[in-house]
Amino acid sequence: MQRRRTGLTAVALAMGMTATLAGCGSSGGSSEVTLKLVAADYGDSSANSSQKYWDKLVKEYEADHPGVKVEVSVYSWTDVDRKVKEMVAAGDAPDMAQIGAYADYAAKGQLYKVGDLLSIPVEANFVPQLTDASQTQYGMPFASSTRLLFYNKTLFSEAGLTPPQTWSELAADARVLKAKGVKFPYALPLGPEEAQAETMQWLLSGGGGYTDDVGAYAIDSAENIKTFTWLRDELVGKGLTGPVAPAKLNRADAFEAFARGEVGMLSGHPTLMQMATKKGVKFGMVPMPGIDGRTKATMGVADWMMAFKKNGHGKQVGDFLDFVYNDKNVLAFSHEYDLLPVTSSASDTMAGDQDDQDLAPFLDELPSAELYPVGKTSWAKISADIKKQIAKAVSPGGSPTGVLGSLQNEGIMADSAG
């Protein structure tokens, strides 16, 4: 599954979508402007820290823009949202932040509009599925992914199994894997790291979701209650999710267990391919099973770039972000971390490159993907609440109706509070 990384730069530059930056970097006088960016770390070690990606990109940018310096501080996903929040509260907002949500800052009037920053070709080049999900003019997608069901080919072959297409088949496969001594027949990470993602994937596979057709919270819908009742009774309750309680299993730990060959099945994003390949685990990927067949929608995730108005560096920020979003840089980041490009031209390049065919199944899922309701100012709070509470719904004696109902009420109150 290893992919050749060469030859992409020439292809990207030939696309003709690279932003024109000549003469844009100067501050307009002899003084120098320093832009501060806080970014999330997508690496899993110091060897592939996102700091290295940003350092290289910034070095190239500054070489052509002598009037602008860019300082990038990279933090783990555990810390980055909190760090930006603390900086803003202290009156020391960065010029840019690349984190998970932006709507609460936009609602307070703290962010530049995207149209006031980017050149028209760059703004128009974002993947529509991602910009449609944001429903605001203040967030720029930075990285994206979709989810597929990963399964261990060796374990499935030894057990005589085929990949499941329905929930009943998934449970049946999990029972066989358990009987064969597989540690985690299906890994269900509902720990605090990323429980909102696993939750959303299951809600979608059950025909529900976090919101209804008009964007209002529908967390306690009949479909969602049915989904978590099934998880509680048919997977967790029957010991098919392994020795670690879902409440204590984080996504990173589940991925590491899969890379050790201890997991039969789990919902995963493209980064898991690299982890499993490095450890020699043979795996397959199929769309996430639904109640009676393939789900109508899978979960998509986008992380966001935003720009704060406080320092008044809108022109310089816009110039820098035009550079960030040229195809060469978008593809370099996507390849480094096995993520999907956020621009249409880079996506087209990836789709047509034979060296990128391992990502093709994830690209295929993007047109039908649904993203978090990131345009809602309440989403950051509700996401945090989901991380804290959702695992209770599948615990022994847990009440899906009660837990989902509580989250729904919190969503309504948060929306009312504005």
> Residue by residue, what is the 3-state secondary structure of the chain?
CCCCCCCHHHHHHHCCCCCCCCCCCCCCCCCCEEEEEEEECCCCCHHHCHHHHHHHHHHHHHHHCCCEEEEEEEECCCCHHHHHHHHHHCCCCCCEEEECCCHHHHHCCCECCHHHCCCHHHHHCECHHHHHHHCCCCCEEEEEEECEEEEEHHHHHHHCCCCCCEHHHHHHHHHHHHHCCCCEEECCCCCCCCHHHHHHHHHHHCCCCCECCCCCECCCCHHHHHHHHHHHHHHHCCCCCCCCCHHHCCHHHHHHHHHCCCEEEEEECCHHHHHHHHCCCCEEEECCEECCCECCCEEEEEEEEEEECCCCCHHHHHHHHHHHCCHHHHHHHHHHHCCECCEHHHHHHHHCCHHHHHHHHHHHHHHHEECCCCCCCCHHHHHHHHHHHHHHHHCCCCCHHHHHHHHHHHHHHHHHHC
In a domain, 2, yes or no: no
In a domain, 68, yes or no: yes
In a domain, 81, yes or no: yes
> Is the same domain home to 250 and 319?
no
Within 10 angstroms of residue 239's Cβ, the number of other Cβ atoms is 12
In a domain, 88, yes or no: yes
pLDDT value of residue 219: 98
pLDDT value of residue 136: 64
Distance, CA of 42 to CA of 48 (rounded, Å): 8
> Is the same domain home to 112 and 191?
no
- Joined tokens for residue 399: 């009440």
Site of tokens 């605001």:
136
* Cβ 191 vs Cβ 246: under 8 Å: yes
> Is the same domain home to 79 and 27?
yes
> Is the same domain home to 218 and 320?
no
| β-bridge mates for residue 299, sequence order | 370
> Is the same domain home to 237 and 382?
yes
* Cβ 190 vs Cβ 199: under 8 Å: yes
Distance, CA of 1 to CA of 266 (rounded, Å): 19
How open is the CA angle 408-410-414, to the nearest 5 degrees?
Answer: 120
Distance, CA of 111 to CA of 105 (rounded, Å): 7
Number of structural domains found in the chain: 2
Q: What pLDDT tens digit does each residue of the chain (418 aa) get? A: 333 333 333 333 333 333 333 334 333 344 699 999 999 999 878 888 999 999 999 999 999 999 999 999 999 987 999 999 999 999 999 999 999 888 889 989 999 999 999 999 999 999 988 887 655 689 999 999 999 999 999 999 999 999 999 999 999 999 999 999 999 999 999 998 889 999 999 999 999 999 998 889 999 999 999 999 999 999 999 999 999 999 999 999 999 999 999 999 999 999 899 899 999 999 999 999 999 887 778 899 899 999 999 999 999 999 999 999 999 999 999 999 989 999 999 999 999 999 899 899 999 888 888 999 988 889 888 999 999 999 999 999 999 999 999 999 999 998 887 6
From 135, 52, 144, select the one nearest 100 (Cα to Cα).
Answer: 144
Look up the domain containing 153 and give its range.
Answer: 148-287+376-417
In a domain, 51, yes or no: yes
Contacts of 49 (CB under 8 A, 6+ apart): 41, 43, 74
> Is the same domain home to 183 and 234?
yes
> Is the same domain home to 227 and 343?
no
Helix 344-351 / helix 327-337 crossing angle, nearest 10 deg: 60
pLDDT value of residue 281: 98
β-pairing, 68-75 vs 148-152, is unpaired
pLDDT value of residue 43: 87
> Is the same domain home to 209 and 316?
no
pLDDT value of residue 377: 86
* Cβ 126 vs Cβ 344: under 8 Å: yes
> Is the same domain home to 253 and 401?
yes
41 dihedral zone (left: phi>0; alpha: psi -120 to 50; beta)? beta
In a domain, 5, yes or no: no
In a domain, 155, yes or no: yes
In a domain, 296, yes or no: no
β-pairing, 298-307 vs 96-99, is antiparallel
- The CATH number linked to 212 is 3.40.190.10
> Is the same domain home to 330 and 207?
no
> Is the same domain home to 167 and 58?
no
> Is the same domain home to 119 and 153?
no
